[in-house]
A and B are shown apart, each in its own frame.
Chain A
Amino acid sequence: MNKSGTDIQFAICGSAGDGTIASGDIVKRAAAAVGFHVIAFDVYPPEIRGFGKCISRIRVSAEQAYSLKEKTDVFISLNDSHAIPHVGEVRDFGAVIYDDRSIAPIREGAHITAHIRPAQIPYGLPIRQISEQATNAARSRNIVVLGYMAGLLKLPSRPFREVIAAKFATKPQAVIDANIRAFDAGLEAGRKVFRLDDVDVGTVPDHGGSEAVMMTGNGAIVRGFLEAGIQSYFGYPITPATSIMERLAVEMPKQGGKFLQTEDEISAIAATIGAGFAGSRAATATSGPGLALMTEMLGLGVMAEVPSVVVVSQRGGPSTGLPTKTEQSDLNLAVFGGSGDAQRIVIAPTNVEGCYRCAGMAFEIAETYQTPVIVLIDLYLSNRYETVFPSHENTFAPKPRKVPELAEGEPYKRFAFTESHISPRALPGDAGMVHTVTGLEHNELGRPGDGDHMRMNAKRHEKLISATRYPGLTVAKRFGDAGKVDVGILGWGSTFGEILEAMFEAQDAGISCSAMKAVMLSPLPVDELRAFFDDCRTVLVPELNYEGQFANLVSGALGRPVVRLNRTVATPMPVADILAEVKRLAAEADSPERIPATAGVGS
C-alpha cells in the first residue's frame, strides 16, 4: 500500500545469542513510544532449541499497515552467514548495515559486501570494535548497531534510551549504563555518516492523544482473557501458543484466577470443560497437534453443551511439522475435528486487535451458545507485534448470570427444546436445578438412553445459526471497492493483512477489486459471503495451506466457484503472489475467453 509519510521496514538478522530479537524489540517499542504504527514479526530457527538464524522484521508507519512489506528498507546484519541469503530482500536504495571488520579470516564471498547489490546502499562500521570500546565487551553489538541506525536516519534517540533502560531494568545499573554507552557510541558513529539511501523517515503521526499499546497476537489474547475475567486456565505448553499460558500464569493469580499446567492436552481440555460446567470462565490454548488430542473432549463439550474457550495457534503440519513456522492448515480440524456431528463456533481474528476482541468476547459467546468456542489463529499472528490503540472501557467483563426460573414442581430441563434452541443453563449448586450432563445422547433432562437424537442434533446445530448475528462481533467485513467488482479476495486469519495490502496495490493499478475477511468460520456467515460472491466476477481465496481448506468450506457451503491460491512456504503469504493472481484474474475478466474458476472439494 502506498502510504503517505513514514513507512519503513527494518530487518535485523543474526544468530541466536546475538541479541537479534532483543534489538528488534527495542526498535518496535521505541517506534511505538513516539506514536508510529508498528507491525512486526520475528522468525526463529525451524527447531525450537535456541540456536540458528533469527530475523526480526519491523514495519514502522505513520498510517495503519496491515502486513509486513515484501521489501525491507533498512537491513542490519549481526551475522553475515545468516544475513547473506536475505540481502536480496532489501529494496533498491535501501540501507544495508553490517560489521566491516572480522575477527578471523573468512573465505571468499563470505562477507556480506559480496552480496550487496549495486542499487543497495552499504553502510559498514566496526560494530564489535565500537562495542568493546564502549563497554569492554562485544555482547552489546546489537545495541551499537541500533545507535548507528538511529544516528544514520536521524531518529530521536530518547525513546531508544528509555526502551533500553526499561529492557534491562531488572539488571544491575551497570548493565543499563553499558548498554546506553553502546547505543550512544553507535549513535555518534551513525551521525557522522553521509546518507546515500532514500529511506524517508517522515514525521511522527498525531493520534489525538490516544496511547499506543504494543502487543503480539498471543499478548492480545491474554489481555482479552483478563479483561473478560477469565477464572480458570488449563494448558500444556506447545509452540506457538506457549506464551499465552506463560503470561496467564503470571497475571491470573493477581486477579484471583486459577491456573494449572496439566500433564497433557487431553487433561487441559477436560479440565477446561469441567470448569466450564461448574460455571467458571475457562480456557485453554494449544496448537494443531494439541487440538488433535483435544477433539474427543471438544465433542463432549458440544454434546454436553458446556461453554469453553480454546485458542488454537496453527503451525506447519501435519504431525510435529514445522513448529516455528506459520500455516493455516488446521481449519478442517478446528471446524470438523472429532466424532459425530459436532458443530462448534470457530472465530478467526485477522490482526492483533482482533485477537484482543475475539478473546475478550469468546467467553460470552461460549456461554450464550453453551458450546466450545475456538479462537483460531496461527504462528504469524501469535508472534506478530502490532500497535493497538485500545479503548479504556472494558466491554468484555462478565454480565450477571440469569438463573433459570422454574414453576412450582416443574422439573429442570437442562436441555429443554426452546424457540432459540438454547436451553436455560443452571450451574451445579443452583437450588432445585440438579441435572445430569453426559457425553451420551440424552433427553431434555439430560438423562441418557431415551433421547431423540435427530431432534437433539438439530438443536445443537440450529442454536448456532444466530451466532453469525452476535452483537458486537464482526463476523465478516468487506473492504475496497463497493458494488460490482472484477476480482474479490476472500480471506481469513493472519493472511488477511497481506490480502488487504494486495487489494490496495491492485486498486492503485486500476483494478476493480474488493476484499472480504471472514472472522466467523463456523457457522459460516453465508449471507455476507453470498452477497460478496454476487458482487464479484471472480473470487480468489488465498490461504496458507495446501488443500485450500477455507476455499473448500466456502465453495461447498455456497455452491459457488472460487479461485484458490495456496502456499505452504513456512512464511506469511507474499503480497506479490496475491497481487499477481489478482492481476491475472482481472485480465481474464476483460478477456472474452475466461478461464473458469473451480468449485468444490478437490475440483
Chain B
Amino acid sequence: MTEPVHHVIIGSGSAGFGAARTLRENDADCRITMFTMDAIPFYQRYELPQIFRGRSDWRDLLAVPPSFYEDHRIDLRRRCRVADVDGANRKISLSHQETVAYDRLLVCAGGRGYLPENLTGYGELIHGFGSFEAAMQTYRDLPEGGRVVMIGGDMVGIDLALTLLDTGYGVTLITNSQTFWPHELGAEERAPLLDVLRARGVTVLEDARAVRVEARNGGAPARCVTLDDGAQVQGDVVMAFCGLASSVEFMLRAAVDIERGLLVNPQLRTTNETIWAAGDVCQIWHDSEKAYKFYHGWKNVRVMGELAARNMQGANEVFDVDVEESIGIGEDGEIVSTFWTRGN
C-alpha cells in the first residue's frame, strides 16, 4: 500500500486556504498539512476594519468554522514558523526544530507590511493592522473619537480610513508613492481620489514625508509624527500602510529563484519541480510583458491558490489574470477598486 501524497502548504490565508480546499476536493486520500504563524484559522483580512464597527470577536470573522479543517482532514498547524525549506530533500524545518517531509510544497506565505527604510527604527511606535491581534490592539489603543495618523495609505489603509471616519474617528493621511497600492498611480491619477478622501473628512498631507515618530509620554494625543519640512502631526495612533514585502526569507536555501518574491512560471511552479507558490509571495512570469509580476488582491490570490493546487495534482493550468487592475470613482462618488471591492 502506497503512502498518500503529502501536500504541505506554508500559509493559511486566502491562497493557502483555497489550495487546501481544492486539494481535498480533488483527492480524498491525500495528506494535507498547513503551517501558519497565525493563531487564528483563515479569515479575510479585508474584514478587519469591521472591528471598528463592533465585530471584535475573531470567531465572527472566520471564513469557515474550525471544525472544517478536521472534517476535511486538513492538519492546520498554527503558531509554526517555517525556518528553512530544503528543496533538494523535500523537507521543511520549523523553528522549534521539527522537520516535516513533503511530496509537494505550496508556498503562500504572503507578505508583511512594508515600512519605509527611514521609519524602521520607529516600529514599536507604529500600530499594525496585519493580523486580528494587531487590529484589536489598535482598536483598544485608539480613544473614542481619536485620530489616526496614516502613513502611505494602500488600499487596506484606505478601507480602514473610511471605516474610521464612519465610526467617529479622525484620520490624517500622509501620502507617498504607496498610496492606493497595489494600484500604481501617478500624481494626476491620485488627485481626484484624494479629493474623495478629503470630501469624506480625511486630512490629506501631500508632498510630505514622515521622518520621525515619537511617543508623547503621558500626553494626549499619544503620538507625534515629524515631517521632513519640520512640521509636526499629532495623533493617538500612527499606522503605516505602504504595501507588502513578500515573506521569502525561509526560502533562501530552497534552491528556487527569488527576486522580490518567489519567481514562478504561469503554472505557478517555482524553479523546483516540487514547489509551487501562490499569492502575494510570488511573482508570475508574464509572457507578453516578458517580466515577472505581482498580482495582489484577494480575488487574484484565491484564484492562484486554487490553480496551484490543481497543478500540484497533475493539471497544467496557466494563471490568467482574473481581475484587471482598475481604480476609479463610482457613481456614488466613492472610490471603487477592482482589487479591493468586497465581494464573494
Contacts and interface: CB of A to CB of B under 8 A. Distances in A.
Contacts of B212: none
Given A118-B69, A194-B136, A194-B137, A113 B39 contact: no
Contacts of B96: 99-102, 106, 111, 113, 124
Nearest to A124: B79
Contact of A106 (B58, B97, B132): B97
A109 B39 CA distance: 18
Interface stretch (B45-53, B98-106, B215-223): B98-106
B205 interface: no
Interface stretch (B70-78, B158-166, B267-275, B325-333): B70-78
B100 A108 contact: yes
B70 A100 contact: no
A196 interface: yes
A122 B39 contact: yes
A110 interface: yes
A93 B101 CA distance: 30
Nearest to B76: A118
Nearest to B81: A100
A49 interface: no
B66 interface: yes
A208 interface: no
Contacts of A92: 66
Contact of B39 (A108, A117, A196): A196
Nearest to B78: A122
Contacts of A101: 95-97
B314 to A, nearest CB: 25
A119 interface: yes
A117 B66 contact: yes
Nearest to A116: B78
B340 to A, nearest CB: 26
B99 A105 contact: yes
Interface in B55-102: 58-59, 66-70, 75-80, 94-101
Contacts of A111: 94, 96, 98
Interface string A170-203: 0000000000000000000000001010000000
Residues of B contacting A: mostly: mixed
B40 interface: yes
Nearest to A80: B96
Contacts of A123: 39, 79
A121 interface: yes
A312 to B, nearest CB: 45
Contacts of B75: 114
A509 interface: no
A597 to B, nearest CB: 38
Contacts of B101: 108
B70 A106 contact: no
A122 B94 CA distance: 16
A66 to B, nearest CB: 30
A108 B69 CA distance: 19
B67 A119 contact: yes
A102 B40 contact: no
Contact of B98 (A110, A117, A119, A124): A110
A250 interface: no
Contacts of B97: 101-102, 104-106
B261 interface: no
A196 B40 contact: yes
Contacts of B100: 108
Interface string A438-453: 0000000000000000
A100 B98 contact: no
Contacts of B39: 121-123, 196
A402 interface: no
B10 to A, nearest CB: 14
B11 interface: no
Contacts of B79: 100, 113, 122-124
B66 A119 contact: yes
A194 B70 contact: no
A151 to B, nearest CB: 16
A107 interface: yes
Contact of A113 (B66, B68, B78): B78
A330 B308 CA distance: 64
A199 to B, nearest CB: 14
B5 to A, nearest CB: 16
Contacts of A117: 66, 70
Given A118-B41, A119-B66, A196 B58 contact: yes
A109 B8 CA distance: 14
A123 B79 CA distance: 8
Nearest to A104: B97
A106 B136 contact: no
A300 B71 CA distance: 64
Interface centre among B39, B40, B80 (most CB of A within 10 A): B39
A114 to B, nearest CB: 6
Contacts of B58: 196
Nearest to B69: A118
A334 B119 CA distance: 77
A102 B101 CA distance: 19
A235 B97 CA distance: 51
Nearest to B40: A196
**Can you list the 10 inter-chain pairs with the closest CB atoms, starting with the nearest?**
A118-B66, A119-B66, A194-B133, A102-B97, A122-B79, A118-B69, A111-B98, A105-B97, A124-B79, A102-B96
22 contacts: A99-B96, A101-B97, A102-B98, A105-B97, A105-B98, A105-B99, A106-B97, A106-B98, A108-B99, A108-B100, A110-B98, A111-B96, A113-B77, A113-B78, A117-B70, A118-B41, A118-B68, A119-B67, A122-B79, A124-B79, A194-B136, A196-B58
Interface of B: 39-41, 58-59, 66-70, 75-80, 94-101, 132-133, 136-137
Given A101-B96, A108-B100, 19 more contacts: A99-B96, A102-B97, A106-B97, A106-B98, A107-B98, A107-B99, A110-B98, A111-B94, A111-B96, A111-B98, A113-B79, A113-B80, A113-B96, A114-B77, A117-B66, A118-B76, A122-B79, A196-B58, A196-B132
